[in-house]
Structure 1
């Protein structure tokens, strides 16, 4: 299951100040580059190349171990490491990456992957089925981050150097799972020799197969991380390519906009609407793309006033969904249910609408509302995130007209999360606001990680305990593998249960990614299955 859920994300008017401490407490310092001998990957990169500069608003690296990485470093990791497969957002299909072909048995419980020939790790070791097996097994055994993607596996076997066989405990869409944004990385488990591999990684080393390898890593520096082209990359380096990648931490959005305009920065993941419009007017490339990332307002179903289902439904109906989306000026779009459009499990026609008359009636039924007993609710949200602050401001104003006081408190992520997970129910909030996005192109993680019963809450911050709901969630992966129509029906039913019947959550909006690139860069495709990742190897440098 998930341990951290922090990601590079800027608010509409300010950068999202999620906790810089997300991750497993890894030691940071200047990184040593692993040796990168020439391999069978084709022509070496040119002696003089071009540099792609990514301008995140937060520190990039929280965890260097590809087995447990589950945070901001995805923007670098997806350029350093590769998975067996990759999800194509345009075709909405799984495509080859380190595996060139795969097939499953009729019962969906045996999967066979054929690996790509001529691939080498950055350590110089060739990629074999045995090496891939060892990487997946280590990730599965560590059980950190998104390692649950491998839960269905009973046994992995290297049938020969390039053939990897998986025996599953139950049918699962392993080709899709193997394309996950976290925990699907294939890496050299022998990179540290007889040393501690986790400590080896923590020093800023990598053992991937991707087009780029770590050149330097310096915590606290403006250019925190630099990658350089791996000359043994299996894809080769023919044609115009970026041969260096730098991550230049730029907390101020105004500064980021100026840097991209001056050509000092190649990519800014998000600006506020005013700066975004200015960048377009001044000749920078701008792109907008729907995302798989939505904002959740999780209601405390276990304790406090929102234990009353009527009050939860009243808050749902009080949210000004249309007004919020309008105020976001393109940075957010209306949600339809819990699952964003484009993902398996999405249900159309579930866009919520404000209903003040309905909210007032529910409040009065519970003894509150205008003329009734005063009601105070607490809400926590991410400090520094202007989009979440906008939700708090609009909702507070609306509820005040209904004789409900909303005490909305902005907190650093770790503080907010610790309060939500507290064993003392009196410390928990009534409404917990956070972003969520999938670990692979499927809706499963919303249901299994956020709403499935948990004795000790992690991301189940509604504290919901519903055996019937849990049983249906536990069957989702198998259904997706053997009966997609039944799986879609189950996803629709579960959303009806969560939103309409239990009123455990409201979904104010889905983020709309607004990117800015330096002029002349070609080949950029926004793939929300890999949030905020730029696959630099696929780009063409500008003139």
Structure 2
């Protein structure tokens, strides 16, 4: 469900959700819920910290769920058409050679600061994001220059052909914001105090880092999309690591939406009066990243042994519909997805034991000790940790599996001292826009300092092949498919830098009086609250 994509799209998607598409049925309305009308508050529960970085130029983590309600991009990905649709820009066109793109903005838009959303502001936003060069700023690498042709017209000149309309719909680094918000002060520091300079339907009302009620947004009265009819006027983001607590809050009507539940709780939700449920495939998968640079797993034989020890089928059984088997790094629905028979892995304990023995470990050899970090409060990751720890224990491998809040886990992974880093880092990944490039560019391309390349892999051949992907994508789709297939084979097979146990199926639960919700896989876990209809 997206904001004003094309005529009729919102209504169609809302109708699909209400009709039970993907399990989105509601069983009665006997539960209490939030007030309706102009005082309604939408309460969003997630199990990890909401905000890591407040700067829209560098933001690249969980705050996506809030930022997409505060900031907007030129375009938005439409999952029905699988193309970019209008957002701040109402139309655009490209030159025949794909190297010049011209966007026309909607008239009369304003930032939360009161200044106009015009061509100069678009140019300034993207140029600042590019200059800082952090997070997902790489999405603009094809851009040679930006010109504000007039108040509402922005022209992008490219170094090579690229789908800028799709790039401009990215979930990170595509935000348009008021670069003058801090006046003569430091804009980056201004943002990090919990301030915003967006143009979206909601603006920051309060932020309490580390608190359960971490973030509250309030309606921006001058939003260009308008407030006619029923809308939620407030959005509250709460952090509840325990999923049973989240479920109880939903049952009591103290929460509107739970981002995730255990499979057991989700099945219970499907049969509970006054609760809607929705299960949909996603572009998000789980990555088990191996430390290729230091510690025991610098030995590729040990990395391959851990890959083989993962009980892929047992995990999928335990997830009870919350995940499907992965056949590579790229989920289905995206260019680069591998569909070859036999690509989906299965547990091979005999093969793991043989590799461990070759390296001097394993049954009858010296014990091997590994550290693994994963997300606190994520029951699916807990299933992986438990099954893998048990499987490796039978092979004389002791795993110190540590559940951590995301910020602490990420800080450890990025530590400049290799001795502080983990051997195995478990995290989810999803694309920055509806293309597979971000897996390769961010997670497996060498980079200093470390950000998300938490395998610490440094391979010049792989780097050069990743660097060539954007041009291939724009000029030779067949060659791009082959490049993606090769890279996945190299990273999972030859280098054994990663294992991919599953692709997520989103399982949502929300109050029956929340109408119009559905998932857009290009914006994982985002609820576009302005599009929802609160009812009695």
Q: TM-score range by the shorter chain?
A: 0.7 to 0.9
Q: Is the CA contact (8 Å cut-off) linking 2:38 and 2:231 kept in structure 1?
A: no
Aligned to 1:524: 517
1:380 maps onto 2:370 in alignment: no
Counterpart of 1:101 in structure 2 is: 91
Return the offset for 1:155: 1.0
Distance 1:153-1:516 versus aligned 2 partners, 3 A rule: same
Give, in whole Å, the separation in 2 of the partners of 1:394 and 1:59.
26
Instruction: Work out the CA distance in 2 between the residues paired with 1:538 and 1:224.
Output: 23
Show CA shifts across 1:93-138 (max 9, x none): 2111111222223333222111122222222322211111111112
Q: Decide whether aligned partners of structure 1 residues 281 and 69 sit closer, same or farther in structure 2, where only a CA change above 3 A counts.
A: same
Q: 1:144 to 1:345 in 2, by over 3 A?
A: same
Distance 1:433 1:223 in 2: 26
Q: Tell me which residue corresponds to 1:490.
A: 483
Picking from 300, 308, 320, the partner of 1:317 is 308
3-state DSSP of counterpart to 2:534: coil
Q: 1:302 Cα shift?
A: 2.8
Q: Say which of 230, 233, 246 aligns to 1:240.
A: 230
C-alpha displacement at 1:286, in angstroms? 0.9
Aligned to 1:255: 245
CA 311–207 in structure 1, closer or farther in 2 if over 3 Å, else same: closer
Structure 1 residues 190-199 or 228-237, which shifts more?
Answer: 190-199
- Give the aligned partner of residue 341 of structure 1: 332
Deviation at 1:513, TM superposition (A): 1.7
State whether residues 261 and 279 of structure 1, in contact with CA within 8 Å, keep that contact through their aligned partners in structure 2: no
Structure 1 contact 173–477 (Cα < 8 Å) conserved: no
1:277 aligns to 2:291 (yes or no):
no
Partner secondary structure for residue 284 of structure 2? strand
- By how many angstroms is 1:159 displaced? 0.8
Change (3 A) 1:177 1:387: same
Two-structure CA RMSD over aligned residues (Å): 2.5
* Cα deviation, residue 368, structure 1: 4.1
Q: Say whether residues 1:183 and 2:176 are aligned partners.
A: no
Aligned pair partner of 1:479 in 472, 479, 483: 472
After superposition, residues 297-308 of structure 1 pair within 5 angstroms as 297-308=288-299
1:186-238 deviations in whole A, cap 9, x for unaligned? 11222333444334434433222212223344456654433333232222223
1:131-530 matches, within 5 Å, as: 131-219=121-209, 222-283=212-273, 284-349=275-340, 350-530=343-523
The unaligned stretches of length 5 or more in structure 1 are 1-45
Q: Secondary structure at the match of 1:265?
A: coil
- Whether contact under 8 Å (1:317, 1:353) holds in the other structure is yes
Number of residue-to-residue matches in the alignment: 498
What is the aligned partner in structure 2 of residue 4 from structure 1? none
Inter-CA distance 245–384: structure 2 relative to 1 (3 Å threshold): closer
Partner of 1:20: none
State the Cα distance separating 1:420 from its structure 2 match.
3.6
TM-score by length of 1: 0.85
Give unmatched runs, 5+ long, in structure 2: 1-35
Cα distance in structure 1, aligned partners of 2:92 and 2:297: 48
Distance in 1 (alpha carbons) for counterparts of 2:185 and 2:417: 41
2-structure distance, mates of 1:409, 1:57:
16
C-alpha deviation, 1:306, in angstroms:
2.8
Q: Residue 63 of structure 1: CA displacement?
A: 3.0
Deviation (angstroms), 1:184: 0.9
Q: Give the CA deviation at 1:414.
A: 4.7
Deviation at 1:49, TM superposition (A): 4.3
Mapped partners of 2:279, 2:226: distance in 1: 31
CA displacement 1:260-299 (0-9 Å, x = unmatched): 2233321111122232222222220011122222221222
More displaced, 74-83 or 225-234?
225-234
Q: Secondary structure at the match of 1:463?
A: coil
Q: SS of 1:508's equivalent?
A: coil
Deviates more, 1:119-128 or 1:367-376: 367-376
Larger deviation, residues 469-478 vs 307-316: 307-316
148 and 105 in structure 1: CA distance in 2 versus 1, 3 angstrom threshold: same
- Check whether the contact 1:290–1:513 (CA below 8 A) recurs between aligned residues: yes
Relative to structure 1, is the Cα distance of residues 64 and 358 closer, same or farther in structure 2, using a 3 angstrom cutoff? Answer: closer
Contact preservation (8 Å) 1:83, 1:186: yes
Aligned to 1:79, the other structure's residue is in SS state helix
Change (3 A) 1:99 1:334: same
| Closer, same or farther: CA 479–326 of 1 in aligned 2, 3 Å | same
The TM-score normalised by the length of structure 2 is 0.86
How many Å apart are 1:415 and its aligned residue?
A: 4.7
Deviates more, 1:427-436 or 1:345-354: 427-436
Aligned to 2:3: none
In 2, distance between residues paired with 1:457 and 1:192? 29
Q: Is the 8 A contact 1:81 1:186 kept in 2?
A: yes
267 and 177 in structure 1: CA distance in 2 versus 1, 3 angstrom threshold: same
